[in-house]
Structure 1
Amino acid sequence: MADPKKEDFLDDIETAEAEAYADDMAEIDDEAMELDSLRAERDELKDRFMRALADADNARKRADRDRREAQQYGGTRIARDLLPVYDNLHRALAAAKEEQGDGPASPIVEGVELTLRELMKVFERHGVTRITPEVGEKFDPKTHEAMFEAPVPGTKAGDIIQVSTEGFMLYDRLLRPAQVGVSSTPAS
């Protein structure tokens, strides 16, 4: 016959082992959940870090682009302000040459020519170029401004028939369109 004390003792051992096993399993489950939580937090932090890196890189690129644009196009206002000076020098030179005729150039005419050439050198050094359309060219709305339209025999609609004022570009940006007259003669 079996000893009841021994059986109780064995039952107590089995119960204790089962409880210890259950405690171990609960602890393992807690550690697994904590590990999963830490992994999720790591993944979130890694994602935030990668986004912050991308934002910093984008900000650096944007700042570089803004700096280049400011360097290249920063003189837009002064260039626009100097265009009437160019126009007036150009008109003064044309009027002086017309008044003078075919005779030798006077010192004033030579001075105005030199001033105009120096202004053009400054413009070129800073990326300002002239738009000089010719009579007979096709009207381009990107670089020309139509001041008037008139039917002129021997031309096609959209042909430039008169140039009033030259235009100017600052690198690839339009400072001022060339002001032109355009033919409205319908195609026959």
Structure 2
Amino acid sequence: MSVKQADSGTSAGSKGKARSPDAKQAQNGEKPADEPAVDETAPDASETGQAAGHRVEQAKDTPEDTPADTPQDDEDLAAALVEAREQVQEMKDGFLRAQAEMENVRRRSQKEIQAARKYAIEVFAQELLPVKDSMEQATQVELDDAVGEAVTRMKEGLELTLKQLETVLAKFSVVEVEAGPGVKFNPDHHQAVSMVASEDIPPDHIISVMQKGFLLKDRLLRPAMVVVAS
């Protein structure tokens, strides 16, 4: 072997053996000395941002200190409460009045309906009364023996018709007002045509009846025309 080959082999071996300290550390699993050491216990940047945001939200949620109520505020609240109570009472009173008025209207309507049914024939009965008067006057005529049989039968027929009319009127509660000699004068049912002194009839009592009066149930259709003792 020549000298040059020996030298070259020696140089190569020297280069292979001569390694840097960093290479040795890397080979042994150690970090190079010039790299800065990382603190694994230090908080991450993202975690630090989240914590800061949480503190900001807590600061927003924390209510600010409100000033204490002043005596003027208490007085205003008390006045508003009194006013509200008065308004409620007024509305309650108004409701009760309206309810009472509605009840009165309902009762009046019922009475009017009942009265309309009860006195439905009032006008018709009033129109029949003069007919009854005329028939009564006709039956009171005295017939002498000179009249013929036809006139006598006509009068008998008129009397029968009058009785039928009285029956129909009584069926519908049309009755005569009590009036006659000696009956006490009643201004609700009687109308005094005149007042005459009488020795037989006491004062304020009826002496005679000029025209009969009639009632429809408890309602006066026509007062009795009477002469009263003074």
TM-score category, normalised to shorter length? 0.5 to 0.7
Cα 1:181–1:51 change in 2 (3 A) is closer
2:143 alignment counterpart = 99
Q: Superposition pairs for residues 20-169 of structure 1, below 5 Å?
A: 20-22=66-68, 39-95=85-141, 98-99=142-143, 106-169=152-215
Cα distance, 1:42–1:76 mapped onto 2, change above 3 Å: same
Higher helix share: 1
Q: Distance in 2 between matches of 1:139 and 1:25?
A: 80
Unaligned runs of 5+ in 2: 1-63
Q: Per-residue deviation at 1:30?
A: 7.8
Offset at residue 55 of structure 1 (A) = 1.6
Cα–Cα, structure 1 residues 159 and 62, in superposed 2: closer, same or farther, change >3 Å?
Answer: closer
Q: Secondary structure at the match of 1:146?
A: strand
CA deviation string 1:53-84 (max 9, x = no partner): 21211110111112122222343332222111
TM-score (norm 1): 0.66
* Structure 1 position 99, deviation (Å): 1.0
**Deviation at residue 117 of structure 1 after TM alignment:** 2.3
Note the C-alpha offset of 1:175. 1.9
Tell me which amino acid in the other structure corresponds to 2:173.
Answer: G
Q: Distance in 1 between matches of 2:76 and 2:191?
A: 77
CA distance in 2, matches of 1:181, 1:49: 56
Among 165, 176, 180, the alignment partner of 2:222 is: 176
Post-superposition offset of 1:151: 3.6
Deviation sequence 1:7-65 (CA, Å, 0-9, x none): xxxxxxxxx63xx1437999998887766665544443333222222121111011111
Equivalent in the alignment of 2:40: none
**Shift in alpha-carbon separation, 1:167–1:85, aligned structure 2, 3 A:** same
Of all paired residues, the percent bearing the same amino acid is 35
Task: Please identify, of 22-31 and 104-113, the stretch whose mean Cα deviation from structure 2 is larger.
Answer: 22-31
Tell me: CA distance 1:138–1:52, structure 2 relative to 1, closer, same or farther (3 Å).
closer
**Structure 1 unaligned residues grouped into runs of 5+:** 1-15
